[in-house]
Amino acid sequence: MLALIAYLALLTFVLGFGWRIWTYWRSPAPLKIPTTPAPVCKSGVVWRLFTEVAFFNSLFKGNKWTWLGGYLFHAALALVLIRHLRYFVQPLPEAFAYIQIAGIVAGLAMVGGLGFLLVRRFWVDRTRYISSFADYAILVLLLAIGISGLLMQFVFRPDIVEIKSAMLGWVTFQGFSTPEDALFVVHFLLVLVLMVIFPFSKLMHLGGIFFSPTRNQVDNPREQKHVNPWAVAE
Amino acid sequence: MAHLRPYPAAEKHMTPLDFPGTRVENWQQKGIEKLGEMLHKYRSLQVYMDICVKCGACADKCHYYLGTGDPNNMPVQRAELLRSVYRRYFTPAGKLFPKLVRATDFDETALQKWFTYFHQCSQCRRCSVFCPYGIDTAEISMAAREIMDAIGVGHKYTTEIVGKVHAIGNNLGIPGPALTGTLQFLEDDLLDNTGHEIRLPLDQEGADVLLVAPSADFFSEPHISSLMGYAKVFHQAGISFTISSFASEAANFGMFIGSFAQKQKIAKRIADKARELRVKRIVVGECGHAWRVAYSFWNTLNGPFDFLDPNYPVPQHICEFTHQLNERGALVFDKEANDDLTVTFHDSCNVARASRMGPSAGGQFEIPRALIRATTNKFVEMDADTIRERTFCCGGGGGLLTDELMDLRVRGVLPRITALKRVMEEDGVNYVALICAICKAQFNKMFPMYGIPMEAVGGVHALVNNAIQIGAKRGIV
């Protein structure tokens, strides 16, 4: 049963994500609208996008507290995801031993960052005003995933061998039987929920940022004619 | 509250722009269809509808929010007015669980909010600087205005002005004969004041340069001083130029209403006149959004401009033009002529955040400042959070420079006034130089309300006008 749900969730995530990216890809950018000052060459644009994704440059300019919470969460999440590869890779390369501790510390930082973002969203009048149920729900879901993961790390240690064999079966499309540990099943189900809502929610900022014309366009409209594909020549 | 909501357009304003004269019968359905069409035409709109995480970084960046305290003026919330309708009709979540994701029907309440708040955005793009994804509320408010136009719910001020441009050639509706008279009068004035025959030619075929200035430059103070400044630069450099009576307007309100077709049509008459008058270059006067349209959009709208001299960028900003001549030693400035002034520079939003001057990024900040330093002795910057890419809008951009929005304009200018008052008190600043016709008109009206003399605003080329030495020769041209 869990295997069926897991495959449906994976399918929804992959197809849904691909469908949104395809939508962004095929929609035309009729005019040059980079927010200036903007890079005047392509390599400059690559650098601009890199600094946005790696350091959250614009957000840093905008609000230091939000940057702090957001950056802490995202950077920690990246480390946690890398550490989680150990449950999906066999045999395990030696390098994984070195990031084990960093990954566990990041798990704590991630929950801390999320908690900060949740409190901030509720506490600050402006963000409370703009927040819907969905905005809180996503934070709570991520928190629940993080906390259930930490509990498995620090309190209720599950049978990791059994879980790893199930996960390997899942990602190699050989199927798997539900592991016995209830905490793990909760953790895994919550991740599947996240995968299902991902393409239909604001979480699409992960792919969407690369398509933002104000950030990904070269500032060279005088040097090079930018053609609007749907314009009718007058 | 009074004076926070624009007048709706009447049939006579809408039909010349090919918009329905009155609200169409099935406006809800038509509006939603139009939104669907826009999503397929504008990647910006599609992406910005989806990816906002509502982090709130933009919330306190909008001058109208800071001035009015109305939560619907937080850029994120303004965008939500459109986004909540998008979710309702275009996303699974909004179709299935509208309450959970705050999706709303496109009903009378939603439309009234759109009409109010998408006309409380000056499309200044300050929010997009601070957004982690670069979400540009200007794109969103332009789209909302285009949807409203498509269902016959237009904005009187902007549509009326676009109509004047099509019928007469400029925003102010100055007809050819009146323009001829004004320019002759100004030429006489220049002769009296300088003793030199400084010309302001109209419709002169074969001139080197077509000068396209905002029509306010022909009409009102403090704009006219800049026009005289341009004329003196051309005269001193020995470069012939002409103004066109039909393309006597740099402004392009097609941008404010978001219509690609109108933008293109308005811009086309300038390209056509440049061809007809057989000029070699086009120079654009001190006008903010006009420079955005010219710099960023002209090539797309009506390019390529391969009939012009390839040695110069098309178009050139008057500040680029004057700066280049000065760098080459063609101009002589007497800075002391401006010694009664302590100057600060107000970056206009469309120049600062939507265009460039010169070959490198940020030239739009450096070149006007270089001109101010070349023509004055006392230059002071305002607070770093309120200049360059972080500059505050004057409060009158985006098609909001109209009397019925007076209350909004008074509140919207507040963040700029606050920074200005500080340098006035601390550094004795008594002159705000800038390069936008809308900013000039807005400040001119707002300054007295805040106890600042009306004369404390003017163009960068008004400083050039004061300092330039006519007849003096130095180096090569």
HEC-encoded secondary structure of B284-329: ECCCHHHHHHHHHHHHHHHCCCCCCCCCCCCCEEHHHHHHHHHHCC
pLDDT of the residue at B105? 97
DSSP codes joined into one string, B205-274:
TT-SEEEE--GGGGTSTTHHHHHHHHHHHHHHHT--EEB-STT-----TTTTTT-HHHHHHHHHHHHHHH
pLDDT of the residue at B3? 85
Query: What is this structure's pTM?
Result: 0.94
Considering only alpha carbons, which residue of chain B is nearest residue A196?
B93
Please, which pLDDT band fits residue A94 given cuts at 50, 70 and 90?
confident
Distance from CA of A175 to the nearest CA of B (A): 29
Q: How many CB pairs under 8 A join A and B?
A: 212
Q: How far is CA B157 from the centre of its chain?
A: 15
ipTM of the complex: 0.95
CB within 8 Å: B71 and A213: no
Residue pLDDT, tens place only, B125-140: 999 999 999 999 999 9
Residue pLDDT, tens place only, B390-435: 999 999 999 999 999 999 999 999 999 999 999 999 999 999 999 9
For the cut 50, the answer to whether the pLDDT of residue B475 exceeds it is no
pLDDT of the residue at B474? 55
CA separation for the pair B221, B216 (Å, rounded) = 8
For the cut 50, the answer to whether the pLDDT of residue A234 exceeds it is no
- Give me the residue from B50, B80, B264 closest to A234, CB to CB: B264
Q: Which helix (H) or strand (E) holds A154?
A: helix A133-154
For the cut 50, the answer to whether the pLDDT of residue A133 exceeds it is yes
One-letter amino acid for residue A107 of the chain: G
Residue pLDDT, tens place only, A153-201: 999 999 999 999 999 999 999 999 999 999 999 999 999 999 999 999 9
pLDDT of the residue at B270? 95
pLDDT of the residue at B199? 95
Q: How many CB atoms lie within 10 A of CB B29?
A: 12
For the cut 80, the answer to whether the pLDDT of residue B1 exceeds it is no
Residue pLDDT, tens place only, B75-86: 999 999 999 999
Residue pLDDT, tens place only, B270-304: 999 999 999 999 999 999 999 999 999 999 999 89
What would the two tokens of residue A112 be?
A: 């801390």
A215 contact residues in B (CB cutoff 8 A): 133-134
Q: How many CB atoms lie within 10 A of CB B475?
A: 9
Determine the residue among A33, A43, A122, A223 to mutate to test chain B binding: the one whose Cβ has the most chain B Cβ atoms within 10 Å. A33
Q: Report the mean per-residue pLDDT for chain A.
A: 95
Residue pLDDT, tens place only, B23-65: 999 999 999 999 999 999 999 999 999 999 999 999 999 999 9
Q: Kindly report the backbone phi and psi dihedral angles of residue B392, in degrees, each rounded to the nearest multiple of 5, phi listed first.
A: -90, 140
- Give me the residue from B76, B313, B361 closest to A38, CB to CB: B361
Residues 6+ apart with CB under 8 A from A146: A80, A107, A110, A111, A114
Please, which pLDDT band fits residue B346 given cuts at 50, 70 and 90?
very high
A229 reaches B (C-beta below 8 A):
no
What's the average model confidence in pLDDT over B217-222?
Answer: 90
pLDDT of the residue at B477? 47
Long-range contacts of A104-107 (CB under 8 A, 24+ apart): A104/A153, A106/A75, A106/A76, A106/A77, A106/A78, A106/A79, A106/A80, A107/A76, A107/A80, A107/A83, A107/A146, A107/A149, A107/A150, A107/A153
Q: How far is CA A62 from the centre of its chain?
A: 21
Considering only alpha carbons, which residue of chain B is nearest residue A228?
B300
In angstroms, the Cα distances linking A231 to A78, B262, B302 are 42, 12, 11
CA separation for the pair A66, B380 (Å, rounded) = 33
Listed by number, the residues of chain A in 94-133 with a beta carbon closer than 8 Å to a beta carbon of chain B are 124, 126-127, 129-133
| Residue carrying structure tokens 């002005």 | B161
Strand partners, B333: B468
pLDDT of the residue at A39? 97
A29 contact residues in B (CB cutoff 8 A): 42-44
With contact defined as beta carbons under 8 Å apart, do B91 and B97 qualify? Answer: no
